[in-house]
Amino acid sequence: MLSEFVDGKRLAGRLLPSSFFMLSCMILSFIFIDAKPAYTLPLSHPGSVRAIPAFARKYGLPCSACHTAWPELNWFGQAFRDNGYQLMNDRDSPIWQNPSFFPITFRITPNWHRENTNHQAVDSIPGDGAGSVLVDGTVRQHGFDLSGFDLWTAGTLFKNISFSLLPSADSTGAFHFENAFVRFDNLFNSRWVNLRFGKFELDNLISEKRFLFLSANGGIYQLYHFVPVGDSNTFGLGDNQLGLELAGHSINSYTRYSVALLSSNDGQVGLPANRGYDTYLTFSQAFQVGSLGLQRFGAYAYIGERPTFSQTTSGTLIPGTGMGNKSFYRVGFSGDFFFGKFEFLPLYMHGHDNVFLGTATPSNQPLLPGARAPSWNGGFVETHYYYSPQLVLTQRVEIIRMAQQAFPSTPAAAGDPSIPDNQGNINAYSVGFRWYPIMFSRAGLSWHNEFSIVKSIGIVPLSGSGNGLPPLSPTAGVWSNSVFTGLDFDF
Amino acid sequence: MQARYVLLPVLFALMVAVASVGPAPAGTIEGKVTYTGTPPKMKPIDMSKEPTCAKEHNPPLLGENVVTGPGNALQYVVVYISVGEQSAQPPSEPVRYDQKGCMYVPHILAMHTNQPLQIYTDDPFTHNIHPMPKRNPEWNKSQPPGAAPIDTKWANPEFIEVKCNIHPWMHGYFAVLNTSHYAVTDNEGNYSLKGLPPGKYTVTAWQEQYSTQSQEVTVGPTGAASVNFVFKVTPYLY
Amino acid sequence: MKRKPVFAALFAASLILLFATRPTECFAQIDIHIHTATNTMESHIHGLTGEAFGDGQGRPDVGAQLYRRYCIGCHGPNGDGSGENAMWFDPTMGFAKPRDFTLAVFKCRSTPTGTLPTEEDLFDSVTRGFVNTNMPSWRPLTEQERANLIAMVKAFSPRWQAEKPGAPITIPPETAPTVESILHGRELFDKIQCWKCHGPEGRGDGPSALTLTDTKGNPIRPYDFTTGERFKCGASNQDLYRIFMTGLDGTPMPSFSDNIKPEEAWDLVHFLRTLQVTLKTPELATFQTWLKGHPNTLKPIGQEVP
């Protein structure tokens, strides 16, 4: 796999300075850290808040009690979350707190980052003067920057009624609601029946909202957002959805399930799209393996539909009136395995979109010749090494391979649409570390360093880095890499 | 003539034998414990939570944290040998602690480590006896009216505060000591440590508010040594 | 390609630097101070051996590491209950301070008062958590992890090396929850004067309730039976039996094992269940049925002996 990444002289030339940068970050960290006292550090993608010092303030636990390395949850924290952000100590209701306690927390990551993407369509003469043509160029951007900002409040409205509200802003300060829900916990006095209503993250075993990557190229799971070229589907497994969820768990959360009914609008508010509904099902089971730790595996299936056209008035689309729903699904397996200090998170996904979605054809019109339903397979393996509760090293390898494109690469007749077999295939690799100079119960700070590199064939990189246009050739391997160093803090 | 020469050495041997056994140690350390300064005024104890006791103690008793006597005497000071004694065997007679009229009698009970201790209740209502040691295991037992005495002992030397949770004013101490030469001063501040073999000793006095003081003293074969302690008191508790 | 080995070498070099040299001293570590110098504190629970410190041969999740991750915020680096959050636990609001492991005095035991609990008792306490406190149920941790944590708890006090745990008390089989049993239990409650602290209706409002303090001097409240909440040491009749037959060490709740015979103890358990008026129990149902048929026959609890 590594050989694929070092293919090409130009790539290696670019990689070298990046790895020097990473290395110097690490070396600098040694120099800083060796000075006494221990806490010496004076030094996007919207950084999703998923670590809440407000909970630490309420219950008096340090961040490391619930998080392997915040924001990723450990299984004790997952049980707390499954209980509806309750410790089940009969003192969870807010009436037991001092009235001045307000469960609010925020997170943001000022950073320095560098984005570099090749095979971008750029003018041969900047300014597009006389004689300028679009050529294959490289786009590089770097500088100090801010991530998005999250302001999160969550907890209990009452015993066994929990809530969450997360207004989230991008780095310009434009807000949207990332989640907003009320959850009725332990209905009928059973932890197997919990009902959640609102906008929330799907119960993915491997959560994208609580993972340990922040860069443009590394801060998403490609599989959680991938849609084949030319497809009109708007779905991403990593996007928060609007709907109703029934979930349950065993007493120690070793067995968990979730069934959700969601609107087919990918979490967009204002009823912009259609009147369809999607279903999500997931189940996971954990078991202890001696001194190695807890091993968990699970399966998931998202079955949804999207409209292919809409009602119009005088040709203008009327929002929320989507019609001609066609289905799609994402299914697969995932796991979370601990071997002492190592954690492995593998995931496999098979995706399939209906032919009308895959070719962006309204269902009341004929399909173009050769049209097929696109399907793909993909997977990633993510590794964490928890040197201590205050230092985690991470890496991830991810691939997506189209199994069937919407159109054949060699059309039956000349002039018919075609898509190269490998257009849309992705290889992604990330490596990084997070060092938490403080690990206590009021606030958190992490020095986040990351290098991610993605090769997308013939499409705009999902990170959006570059100029946002597809490459000039549909078979060009677009390499986009991010170097990121930032101070991720929350209070 | 023969007999005299035999008897004399025999008598002499007998005398030597008797002399080597020796008389019982007769050394004594005595003294008085007094105070300088103004002692705190002990408040009357409010026993209204246990009406029987409130009726029994009318006028109410005073607190026993600092109890003074005539001539600036300090009562309830534990005086004991802290250095210089050979390790002693714990005596086998038990010491007795009573709960009577919602008070601990005596206020301070001194005993040897591992000496049997018996705790009695003489009151017609429930007490719980809750010693609060740091170096010995802590326990807490209930004694309803008519309950059998509690038999226990303490393995480590320590001044252990004792309280009853039901009657929060009840307050006493077990002085668990590694010596059998100890005394608790009486109302005139007098104490007496008897039966000491000759030698050099350190005598320590402990009062529950004013901690410890130590002095060194040498005791001759039949001598009496005198050690007085003077505690500087303050007009307030803590 | 020429550059490939360079890239790989750089990556390998950075990994080597990261692991082999400085990090062992450098990266911020909170020291865990222990009162005993031994490195061999172990626990044996459910066929597992828990270790506080490991043998330096790579058991990564031994008790000390887990303690630092999960426990240190409340129980403190010295295991004495003075973690950074401990000052915010307000006993006057009913939140107990964290346990001081250095004294080896524990509330929930199966062993007599004044003795050390068994490792099983500690394991159960960690697994169950303590209701009305900030001590969570640590059940999601694996059994091995919990066993390691118990070994670490033991490492904080030298008492565990000098003493053996007490012998667990024998609990006879439970007697039937008949009205006779409940009424006899009621007599015991009156005669032994549990109501002095717990109040005549078990509301925790007895005459001595407001002045109660634990051994550290913090205010503490007696259990209020009318809430129907779980007890500090469990929720079953057996747990209730154990509570008053071994006492809650470190608190005003004494052991009544010298004063209540084991068969009588079950009567008291049955009566105490009837005080939990918000909890549906067979004892409460039996008692309420009997009360309906015999109104105004019971002498009120809490009449002082003249």
The predicted-structure confidence for C251-276, as pLDDT tens digits, reads as follows 999 999 999 999 899 999 999 999 99
Full domain range(s) for residue C230: 179-293
Q: What are phi and psi of B141, to 5 degrees?
A: -125, 150
Provide the mean pLDDT of chain A. Answer: 87
Mean pLDDT, chain B, integer: 88
3-state secondary structure of A461: coil
CB B210 within 8 A of CB B76: no
pLDDT score for C12 = 53
For residues C34 and C149, membership in a common domain is answered with yes
> CA-CA distance, B219 to C175, in Å (whole number)?
66
pLDDT at residue A16 greater than cutoff 60: no
Q: Do C146 and C261 belong to one domain?
A: no
C131 interfaces chain A, CB cutoff of 8 Å? yes
CB contact under 8 A, A76 and C129: no
The answer to whether residues C144 and C33 belong to one domain is yes
State the pLDDT confidence band at C62, using cuts at 50, 70 and 90: confident
Tell whether C16 lies on the interface with A, counting CB pairs under 8 A.
no
What was the pLDDT predicted at B161?
95
- In the predicted structure, residue A19 carries a pLDDT above the cut 70: no
A169-186 per-position pLDDT tens digit:
998 889 999 999 999 999
Q: What is the CATH number of the domain that holds C200?
A: 1.10.760.10
Span B177-218, pLDDT tens digits? 998 899 999 999 999 998 888 889 999 999 999 989 999 999
Of all residues in chain B, the one with the smallest CA distance to C157 is B135
Domain co-membership, C152 together with C205: no
Other C-beta atoms lying within 10 Å of the C-beta of residue C82: 16
The answer, yes or no, to whether the previous bond of A71 is cis (omega within 30 of 0) is yes
Measured between alpha carbons, how far is residue A240 from residues A185, A267, A346, B211, C57 in Å?
Answer: 20, 6, 21, 67, 44
- Summarised one tens digit per residue, pLDDT across range C161-188 is 888 999 999 999 999 999 999 999 999 9
Contact C3 A33 (CB under 8 A): no
List pLDDT tens digits, range A75-127. 999 999 999 999 998 888 888 887 888 889 999 999 999 999 999 999 999 99
| Contact C230/A at CB under 8 A | yes
Q: What would the pLDDT profile of B45-75 be if each residue is shown by its tens digit?
A: 999 888 889 999 989 999 999 999 999 999 9
Which residues, at least 6 apart from A395, have a Cβ–Cβ distance to it below 8 Å? A382, A383, A429, A430, A431, A432
Chain C residue with minimum CA distance to A68: C69
Query: Looking at beta carbons, which residues of chain B come within 8 Å of C214?
Result: none
Looking at beta carbons, which residues of chain C come within 8 Å of B166? Answer: 193, 196-197, 208, 252
A197-201, B89-93, B98-102: least confidently modelled range: B89-93
Identify the pLDDT of residue B8.
63
**Chain C residues touching residue A7 (CB < 8 angstroms):** 1
In a domain, C50, yes or no: yes
| pLDDT above 50: residue A415 | yes
pLDDT given for residue A103 in this prediction: 87
Domain limits, chain A: 1-34, 36-490
Chain A, 200 to 259: residues with Cβ < 8 Å from chain C are 251-254
**Separation of alpha carbons A158 and C187, rounded Å:** 39
| Overall average pLDDT of the C229-256 stretch | 95
- DSSP assignment of A191-243, as one string? TT-EEEEEEE----SS-STTSS--STTTSS-GGGT---TT------TTS-EEE
Subunit contact A9:C1, Cβ cutoff 8 A? yes
Place of tokens 């059940």: C139
Residue C3 within any structural domain of the chain: no
In a domain, C302, yes or no: no
B190 close contact with C: CB closer than 8 A:
no
**Is B18 a residue whose pLDDT tops 60?**
no
Q: Angle C282-293/C262-275 helices, nearest 10 degrees? A: 80
Same domain assignment for residues C287 and C190: yes
Q: What value does the mean pLDDT take over residues B12-22?
A: 56
Confidence class of residue A7 from pLDDT cuts 50, 70 and 90? very low
Residues 6 or more apart whose Cβ sits within 8 Å of residue B9: none
Angle at A455 between CA A454 and CA A460, to 5 degrees: 95
Calculate mean pLDDT across residues C113-121: 95
What is the reported pLDDT for C50?
Answer: 87
- CA nearest to C50, candidates C160, C129, C174, C159: C160
- Is residue C13 situated within a structural domain? no
Q: Does A383 touch chain C (CB under 8 A)?
A: no
C226 and C201 both lie in a single domain: yes
For chain C, the three-class secondary structure string (H helix, E strand, C coil) is: CCHHHHHHHHHHHHHHHHHHCCHHHHCCCCCCCCCCCCCCCEEEECCEEEECCCCCCCCCCCHHHHHHHHCHHHHCCCCCCCCCCHHHCCHHHCCCCCCCHHHCCCCCCCCCCCCCCCHHHHHHHHHHCCCCCCCCCCCCCCHHHHHHHHHHHHHCCCHHHHCCCCCCCCCCCCCCCCHHHHHHHHHHHHHCCCHHHHCCCCCCCCCCHHHCECCCCCECCCCCHHHCCCECCECCHHHHHHHHHHCCCCCCCCECCCCCCHHHHHHHHHHHHHHCCCCCCHHHHHHHHHHHHCCCCCCCCCCCCC
- Give C305's pLDDT tier (boundaries 50, 70, 90): low
pLDDT higher than threshold 70 for residue A463: yes
pLDDT band at C31, cuts 50/70/90? low
Instruction: Tell whether C64 and C153 lie within a shared domain.
Output: yes
Q: For residue A11, is pLDDT > 80?
A: no
Q: Does residue C198 share a domain with residue C118?
A: no
For residues C39 and C157, membership in a common domain is answered with yes
Instruction: Say yes or no to pLDDT of C241 above 90.
Output: yes
Q: How many CB pairs under 8 A join B and C?
A: 91
Q: B22 pLDDT exceeds 50?
A: yes
* Structural domain total, chain C: 2
Considering the segment(s) A36-490 as one domain, its CATH architecture is Beta Barrel (2.40)
Does the distance separating the beta carbons of A6 and C7 come in below 8 Å? yes
- Indicate the pLDDT class of residue B108, thresholds 50, 70 and 90: very high
- Over pLDDT 70: what percentage of chain B? 89
Chain C residue at shortest CA distance from B167:
C208
Mean pLDDT of C43-55: 84
Kindly give, in sequence order, each residue whose CB lies less than 8 Å from that of residue B211, ignoring residues fewer than 6 positions away: none
pTM metric for this prediction: 0.84
Q: Are C287 and C215 found together in one domain?
A: yes
Is pLDDT larger for residue C71 or for residue A54? C71
Which amino acid would we find at residue A485?
A: T
Label residue A27 by pLDDT band (50, 70, 90): very low
pLDDT, tens digit (0-9, with 9 covering 90-100), for B216-236 = 999 887 788 899 999 999 888
Highest mean pLDDT among A97-111, A344-358, B14-28: A344-358
Taking CB atoms and an 8 Å cutoff, what residues of chain B touch C191? 144-145
Does residue C195 belong to the interface with chain B, where contact is any CB pair within 8 Å? no
Average pLDDT over residues B148-164: 94
pLDDT(C76) > 60: yes
For range A187-207, the mean pLDDT: 96
Q: Would the ipTM clear 0.85, i.e. be above it?
A: no
Q: What is the pLDDT of residue C10?
A: 52
pLDDT at residue A372 tops 90: yes
At residue A37, the pLDDT reads 28
Do C194 and C249 fall into the same domain? yes
Q: Compare CB distances from A91 to C3, C74, C132 and report the shortest one's residue.
A: C132
Kindly list the residues from chain A whose CB atom is less than 8 angstroms away from the CB atom of residue C7: 6, 12, 15-16, 19
**A252 and C60 in contact by Cβ < 8 A?**
no
pLDDT at A31 over 50: no
